[in-house]
């Protein structure tokens, strides 16, 4: 086995079909939001088993539109996990509302549902559970609390294409779900997102808001038999996906079942290779409890007491032998902006602080060969003992 390699944290899974599809869109002359976007949306609806999938420029803008569509506004409070990408909290701030942070469970790093009820006030209007790294949040207690207190649930499923909770796809439990097509996600359109919903009124509002508040879409106007000019019925945004991106998305959707199988297969190999006495006390592999179908957007281990907070030292050692790694995500409540805006201290969210310092994502992508998987596991075992 080679002593040194160059193993990326992830790689998009493309072949000639993506290049061909993009070339066809360019040749057609219709490169803005149009028929390819609608085709991509239809494929996503079929996969999610939902009534509406609405393409956007990113998962962030999908979340923004979702909160607007369900009526979140100035002075409202929205519950979010403290350990997530900053976008989850930022979209709440965009609307003049306040994110109310809840700590996460360890080692899965999803929102601790036992702490949500204590954060609910008369101003609370919504909960944003995050399905982190491809593992569903525990949706039963989330939905029970939402029903009891009359709250709206908007799912941040940015990482969770194909993840399931008790046999149901994430992104279909709440009023809306939001998915990402960033290159680190299972499928990619470069940048891009998708909002899912079964609510017709929400879907109509989101379609209007994503396109400047237009009353009629470009596709309808350009395919009509007579000239149609739109009215502008709302203060909207330019959150439209292009047909160039959607052409990538259509081809990626065709590959999604294979991509998910590959990710789960590689994760299973890691689980086996990273077992044994060296793991005990040093790290925990990603949990996958009964009733949860993990999609492994990332394979994130949680470093234990024997390693302490030497994650970055370990990460640099792995980089030196050709293995790229990343931290899981961020303790958003502890970032400079939120810390200073709301006067947050570290002791408020202790598990999120630990997750920020002790999570480590290992390389995982379709096409990653067995030798590279073994190499990562071998080097992790060797280097973690040296800390």
> What is the Cα–Cα distance from 77 to 122, expressed in whole angstroms?
9
Of residues 109, 117, 179, the one with CA closest to residue 138: 109
Catalytic-labelled residue, pool 36, 185, 255, 317? 185
Give pLDDT, residue 253: 98
For residue 298, give Cα distances in angstroms to 325, 326, 331.
10, 10, 17
Give pLDDT, residue 275: 83
Task: Read off the pLDDT of residues 337-373 as tens digits, 9 standing for 90 and up.
Answer: 999 999 999 899 999 999 999 999 999 999 999 999 9
Contact 13, 386 (CB under 8 A): no
Phi, psi of 284 (to 5 degrees): -120, 135
Three-state SS annotation for 22-78: HHHHHHHCCCCCCHHHHHHHHHHHHHHCCCEEEEECCHHHHHHHHHHHCCCCCCCEE
> What is the Cα–Cα distance from 244 to 241, expressed in whole angstroms?
8
Give pLDDT, residue 182: 97
Buried b (16+ CB within 10 A) or exposed e, 9-33: ebebbeeeebeebbeebeeeebbeb
Task: Read off the pLDDT of residues 118-137 as tens digits, 9 standing for 90 and up.
Answer: 999 999 999 999 999 999 99
Percent of the chain with pLDDT over 90: 89
The dihedral region occupied by 222, where left means phi > 0, alpha psi between -120 and 50, and beta the remainder, is alpha
Q: pLDDT below 70 — which residues of the chain?
A: 1-3, 217-225, 227-228, 276-278
> What is the Cα–Cα distance from 170 to 110, expressed in whole angstroms?
14
Q: Domain map of the chain by residue range?
A: 16-253, 257-384
Phi, psi of 7 (to 5 degrees): -105, 115
Contact 358, 328 (CB under 8 A): no
Please provide the average confidence, as pLDDT, over all residues in the chain.
94
Task: Read off the pLDDT of residues 50-59 as tens digits, 9 standing for 90 and up.
Answer: 999 999 999 9
Q: Which CATH architecture has domain 257-384?
A: Alpha-Beta Complex (3.90)
CA angle 313/314/316 to nearest 5° reads: 65
Give pLDDT, residue 385: 86
> What is the Cα–Cα distance from 250 to 238, expressed in whole angstroms?
22
DSSP state at residue 159: T
Phi, psi of 313 (to 5 degrees): -65, -45
CA angle 354/356/362 to nearest 5° reads: 110
Phi, psi of 153 (to 5 degrees): -110, 125
> What is the Cα–Cα distance from 384 to 113, expressed in whole angstroms?
32
> What is the Cα–Cα distance from 243 to 215, expressed in whole angstroms?
20
Phi, psi of 165 (to 5 degrees): -130, 115
> What is the Cα–Cα distance from 175 to 67, expressed in whole angstroms?
10
Give pLDDT, residue 1: 45
pTM recorded for the entire structure: 0.95
Give pLDDT, residue 26: 96
CB-side exposure of 296: number of CA atoms within 13 Å?
A: 28
Give pLDDT, residue 217: 67
367's enclosing H/E stretch is: none
Contact 64, 88 (CB under 8 A): no
Of residues 133, 160, 378, the one with CA closest to residue 270: 378
Mention the CATH class of domain 16-253.
alpha beta
> What is the Cα–Cα distance from 274 to 263, expressed in whole angstroms?
16
Buried b (16+ CB within 10 A) or exposed e, 112-142: bbebbeeebeeebbbbbbbbbbbbbbbbeeb
* Catalytic annotation present for 327: no
Give pLDDT, residue 387: 85
């Amino acid at each position: 086995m080679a002593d040194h390699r160059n193993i990326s944290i992830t790689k998009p899974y493309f072949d000639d079909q993506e290049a061909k599809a993009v070339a066809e869109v360019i040749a057609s002359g219709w490169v803005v939001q149009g028929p390819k976007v609608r085709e991509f949306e239809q494929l996503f609806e079929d996969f999610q088993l939902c009534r509406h999938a609405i393409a956007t420029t990113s998962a962030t803008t999908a979340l923004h539109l979702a909160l607007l569509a369900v009526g979140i506004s100035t002075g409202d409070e929205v519950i979010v996990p403290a350990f997530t990408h900053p976008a989850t909290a930022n979209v709440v701030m965009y609307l003049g509302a306040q994110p109310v942070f809840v700590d996460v469970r360890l080692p899965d790093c999803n929102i601790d549902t036992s702490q949500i009820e204590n954060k609910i006030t008369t101003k609370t209007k919504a909960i944003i559970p995050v399905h982190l790294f491809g593992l569903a949040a525990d949706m039963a207690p989330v939905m029970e609390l939402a029903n009891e207190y009359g709250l709206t649930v908007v799912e941040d499923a940015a990482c969770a294409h194909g993840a399931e909770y008790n046999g149901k796809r994430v992104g279909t439990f709440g009023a809306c779900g939001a998915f990402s097509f960033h290159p680190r996600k299972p499928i990619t359109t470069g940048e891009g997102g998708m909002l899912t919903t079964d609510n017709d009124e929400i879907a109509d509002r989101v379609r209007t808001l994503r396109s400047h508040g237009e009353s009629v879409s470009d596709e309808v106007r350009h395919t009509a038999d007579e000239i149609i000019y739109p009215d502008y019925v709302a203060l909207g945004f330019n959150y439209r996906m292009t047909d160039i991106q959607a052409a990538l998305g259509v081809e990626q959707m065709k590959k999604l079942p294979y991509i998910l199988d590959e990710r789960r297969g590689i994760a299973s190999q890691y689980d086996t290779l990273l077992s044994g006495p060296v793991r005990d006390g040093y790290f925990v592999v990603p949990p996958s409890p009964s009733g949860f179908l993990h999609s492994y957007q990332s394979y994130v281990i949680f470093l234990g007491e024997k390693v302490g907070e030497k994650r970055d030292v370990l990460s640099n050692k792995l980089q030196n032998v050709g293995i790229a790694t990343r931290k899981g995500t961020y303790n958003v409540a502890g970032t400079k902006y939120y810390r200073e805006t709301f006067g947050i201290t570290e002791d408020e969210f202790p598990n999120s602080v630990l997750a920020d310092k002790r999570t480590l994502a290992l390389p995982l992508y379709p096409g990653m060969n067995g030798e590279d998987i073994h190499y990562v596991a071998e080097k992790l075992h060797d280097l973690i003992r040296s800390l």
